[in-house]
Amino acid sequence: MMWLKKLGIVGFGASAIGFIHGLIESGKISNYRITILERGKDYAHNTISGVRMDGKIFISYGMGGEIYIPLEIQAKTVEFYLKFSGYKPAADRREGLINYLRSFERDGKKIEFGESFSNERVYKLFYHHGFEPVKSYFFHLGTDILKETNENIYRHFSSFENIEFLFGVTAEDVDFGPPHRVHTEKGDFEFDELVIAVGRSGHRLMERLKEKYPQLVKPNQFVDIGIRYELPNHVMDPFSDMYEVKIRYRTKTGYICRIFCQNPAGKVTLEKYEDFTTVNGYSDSLRKTENTNFAILVTTRFTEPFKDPTGYGVNLAKLANILAGDREKVILQTYGDFKEFRRTKRLGRVHPTLDPESYILGDANLVFPSKIRESLVDFVENLDRVIPGAAYFDNLLYAVEVKFYTNKFLNDVVEDLHVIGDCSGWTRSVQYATSMGYMRAMGMKIQPL
């Protein structure tokens, strides 16, 4: 009998999916006996919220990570998710890569598609008002279809006799080998080769590994802190052909502010971590709302001697939860009240899409340091110059939203170790996380930007 190498994968999210897909496509899958340790109770509650949150996959060189992902790899990632979502192409590849991908349809309906800043007039409008427009292509599956996608991917991987899933298992610590040893509350596991793919929500484990193996990480001094912003669809309608407006702006404080994760006709939701709760957003393919939501994030860079930007973001999130009176609640405020330093006591014309049990009306000014707060207001006021209505007094903001930049792990120091996806510090999107996992499994060299 052929000897099979024991491969452990910690976490079953975007990067792990990409890695397994790469093993299957390359034929290397037959060389392994694979155990996937996932803390979620089943495939529908897997580690990375991005895989089950919104299903928006893009093709772009301007966002999503700090590694170079070739266009053809990004396209393969989009195609992979589309096919497991039940979509089929109506065009031939010879008609061009983007035309081929945007032709995918399901039940007679084309995939939701958008192209950011392809219109030169719109590009110049934003540019002349000080914004940096980011060009990209978007393909939106929706949270409803994404649940089915997740199940289809899981069932496909489970059909391989040499792949086993162990759900409800949380990795508490890892000792790098050989052999690599993963410590969990249900016992220890040893592997010849190890993939760590726990996403942003695995920050506790990654902080522990950073302390144990400082030689394997590059310092990170960044964290993105901000709000989830909600406003009426009609405000964003003039730019609906883009699906998502991707822009950056240097505010008067000197901080860079950006729009992230826009969800037309979508819903605001909670993102729960181990000991705190932040806010996020998504949109379904079929069930639409009257509001659009997106994150407005301020990139905060720290200098010596401070070395814990992740802890800084975590503590701001915890403070918002404390002010909301519950570890699983966030603060909701109108933009006008936030701008005028008033606690919100009543809402106006915009009705929140977040479950009322998940927020309290409050004052996010009690959470944010002044430079972050001033950056958010400056961004919204200037955004109103190109998107009239972006600064309506009764638009809604939820606090806080945080996106962490994990210390970048070096993947070529320890033999048979792969730290991939958002937990690696090199990616911050479903597209780049999946593609990184795929490239790593294929043995392709990954270049930092």
What CATH number has the domain bearing residue 22? Answer: 3.50.50.60
Answer yes or no: do 48 and 139 share one domain. yes
Answer yes or no: do 184 and 37 share one domain. yes
In a 13 Å sphere around the CA of 340, the CA atoms on its Cβ side amount to 11
Q: Say what the pLDDT of residue 266 is.
A: 94
- In 3D space, the residue among 84, 143, 138 whose CA is nearest the CA of residue 288 turns out to be 143
DSSP 261-330: EEETT-EEEEEE-SS-EEEEEE--SS---SEEEEEEEEEEE--TT---HHHHHHHHHHHHHHHTTSTT-E
Answer yes or no: do 305 and 384 share one domain. yes
- Residue 50 pLDDT > 70, yes or no? no
Q: Say what the pLDDT of residue 147 is.
A: 84
Question: Alpha-carbon Rg of the chain, whole angstroms?
Answer: 22
pLDDT digits (tens, 9 = 90+) for 356-382: 999 999 999 999 999 999 999 999 999
Expressed as residue numbers, the domain containing 299 is 222-404
What SS3 state is found at 193? Answer: strand
Mean of pLDDT values over 13-17: 95
Answer yes or no: do 41 and 152 share one domain. yes
Of the residues 387, 404, 421, which one is the last residue of a structural domain? 404
- What is the average pLDDT score of the chain? 92
Answer yes or no: do 320 and 302 share one domain. yes
Answer yes or no: do 378 and 416 share one domain. no
Mean of pLDDT values over 63-77: 91
The amino acid that residue 415 corresponds to is E
Answer yes or no: do 188 and 336 share one domain. no
pTM of the model: 0.80
Q: Between these two residues, 283 and 163, which has the higher pLDDT value? A: 163
The number of folded domains in the chain is 2
Contact, 440 vs 424, CB < 8 A? no
Among 83-87, 243-247, 434-438, the range scoring the smallest mean pLDDT is 243-247
Contact, 32 vs 160, CB < 8 A? no
- In 3D space, the residue among 146, 122, 144, 150 whose CA is nearest the CA of residue 134 turns out to be 122
Q: Say what the pLDDT of residue 54 is.
A: 66
Answer yes or no: do 144 and 190 share one domain. yes
Answer yes or no: do 400 and 418 share one domain. no
Contact, 69 vs 437, CB < 8 A? no
Among 105-114, 118-127, 251-260, 305-314, the range scoring the smallest mean pLDDT is 305-314
- Residue 52 pLDDT > 70, yes or no? no
Q: Between these two residues, 242 and 103, which has the higher pLDDT value? A: 103
- Residue 93 pLDDT > 80, yes or no? yes
Percent residues over pLDDT 70 in the chain: 97
How far is it, in rounded angstroms, from Cα 248 to Cα 409? Answer: 26
- Residue 53 pLDDT > 70, yes or no? no
* Count of helix runs (H) and strand runs (E) in the chain: 12, 25
Mean of pLDDT values over 193-207: 89
Answer yes or no: do 329 and 390 share one domain. yes
Under the banding of pLDDT at 50, 70 and 90, the label for residue 283 is confident
Answer yes or no: do 42 and 155 share one domain. yes
Instruction: Provide CB contacts within 8 A for 20, sequence distance 6+.
Output: 9, 29, 34, 157, 163, 437, 441
Answer yes or no: do 245 and 201 share one domain. no
